Amino acid sequence: MFSPRELQERVQGKSGGRALLPPDAPVCVAFSGGLDSTVLLHAFARLATEPNSYRVRAVHIDHGLHADSALWRDHCERQAQALQVEFTSIRVAVIGIDEVGLEAAAREARYDAFAKELREGETLLVGHHADDQLETMLLALMRGAGVLGLGAMQAFEPFARGALLRPLWDFTRADLERWARAEGLHWLTDPSNTNLALDRNFIRHRIVSALRERWPAAAQTALRSSQHLQEAWRALEQLAQIDAERAIQGECLSVAVLTALNPERRRNLLRYWIRRRGARAPSTRKLAGIEHDMLAASVDRVPCAAWDGWEMRRHRGWLYCEKKLPALEAEQPIEWPIHAPLQLPASLGSLRISPGAQGQLSAAKLPATLTVRFRVGGETLQPAGHAIHHKLKKLLQASAILPWWRERLPLIYAGEQLVAVGDLWIAAEFAAHDGEPAVSIVWEQRPALVGGRSNI
């Protein structure tokens, strides 16, 4: 049976579970105005009236997807004001609907906004309950998810500058509605909740209702299963961490160590490393293709696999996982008046001229305007300190510049003379001599050109 006191005892571990929220914690309620978040806000607002108790505020996300969204926002603000709770409303733009679907795109926009809004050390409270957990498990099952996906939502997890907590985790929607009606609460009902074209709604109205007819405690039973699955996932994470100690250096993954593992541990480590890089693990089929391409390629190849805006490449026995490189469209030379910084295209950072030490560029030899180009092949350079000219291709190979960055290095010219390659090398003919005023090229936000193990 739900009540604010029972809720408090559960999140503080007084009912035999793990303590998830200190009694005086600052909390931010994700307040949509629906039944779940209305119960959550009212319960915590009531608990906050006690001495040395929670510090509560509410944040409403307006997705702008419904004609009445402004009315919903006003309703939420009035509710918060009546409870004397600080209220913030954030309007978000929902993008990427064609790629991931409306539900996923809205969820991503919502949690991005919460992550930016959450204060240091604050806990975001969301109203997911046991019925939501059952629905999430069934959705994951239909998508062929693994242990992590089938484990569905966790009660507590780190989030942004604080944490995310689902305090209603083991209450059912019926529990919440009984209390809300007894308290005379008013909540919003989104008309899209009856749209069976949306997967979650179909599962809720067609599948879960049928399950509950046969097994009334289906939600609580599924919750126990999700806890078992999450325990299994944590064991897999621990195994991946053991393998990662030998396989991961910096941001790179060793092909040799990966190949030596049995297939199950290999895929487990791959998923772990991909998530650690910040990407979403690919589907089972995609992961199998990545595994084959990365391990079967000959030593002189640099295979590339892409998914969800990320790319994985293999080079010299190491795997690299990075966000997809923006297109580089700079066929014409880019003029660079040296008195001002130059923003490079394709998120390559910026260049500026700075007073430098002896042995850098001669200030007297630089024209007022330089140009920046990108490799077309055949470039040569005599770096300062070298006796002869070298092909730029050979310099890049000898310095272990990653192949996919070699075409993206800014080549700095004075007329038709190559002055410098980014901030990596300067031409001997433009080097400052003893006593000569000198400047240097500074490449800010320079990418990790040699990968995660080291950099030049």
Per-residue pLDDT tens digits for 229-248: 999 999 999 999 999 999 99
Q: How confident is the model at residue 456 (pLDDT cuts 50, 70, 90)?
A: very low
Domain end among 194, 211, 226? 226
Banded model confidence at residue 452, pLDDT cuts 50, 70, 90: low
Structural domain count of the chain: 3
Using the 3D structure, point to which of 259, 293, 323 is the last residue of a domain. Answer: 323
Is the predicted pLDDT of residue 197 greater than 90, yes or no? no
| 220 and 313 within one domain | no
Q: Name the residue type at position 377.
A: G
- In the predicted model, what is the mean pLDDT of residues 250-276? 96
Residue 233 lies in a domain: no
365: exposed, middle or buried (Cβ count in 10 Å: 0-12, 13-18, 19+): middle
Residue 300 has pLDDT above 60, yes or no: yes
Q: At what angle do helices 218-247 and 130-142 cross, to 10 degrees?
A: 60
How sure is the predictor about 286, in pLDDT bands with cuts at 50, 70 and 90? very high
pLDDT of res. 357: 57
- The yes-or-no verdict on residue 102 having pLDDT over 90 is no
Structural domain containing residue 42: 4-226
Tell whether the model's pLDDT for residue 359 goes beyond 70.
no
Identify the CATH number of the domain in which residue 198 sits.
3.40.50.620
Question: Edge-to-edge strand order for the sheet containing 123-125?
Answer: 86-91, 55-62, 26-30, 123-125, 162-165, 156-159
What per-residue confidence (pLDDT) applies to 455? 41
* DSSP category for residue 50: S
- Identify whether residues 88 and 150 lie together within a single domain: yes
Residue 401 clears pLDDT 80, i.e. is over it = yes
The β-bridge partners of 382 are none
Q: In 251-376, which residue ranges form alpha helices assigned H by DSSP?
A: 255-260, 263-276, 284-296
- Please say if the pLDDT value at position 31 is more than 80: yes
Do 284 and 147 share a structural domain?
Answer: no
301, 384: one domain: no
Model pTM score: 0.80
pLDDT tops 70 at residue 59: yes
Of 262, 295, 323, the residue that ends a domain is: 323
Task: Give the 3-state secondary structure of residue 218.
Answer: helix
- Kindly state whether residues 291 and 352 are assigned to the same domain: no
Query: Domain check: are 311 and 219 in the same one?
Result: no
List pLDDT tens digits, range 128-155.
999 999 999 999 999 888 898 898 888 9
Shared-domain flag, residues 30 and 67? yes
Reply yes or no on whether the pLDDT at 454 is more than 50: no
**Structure tokens belonging to residue 388:** 């002869």
Are 417 and 390 in the same domain?
yes
Write down the pLDDT at residue 122. Answer: 97
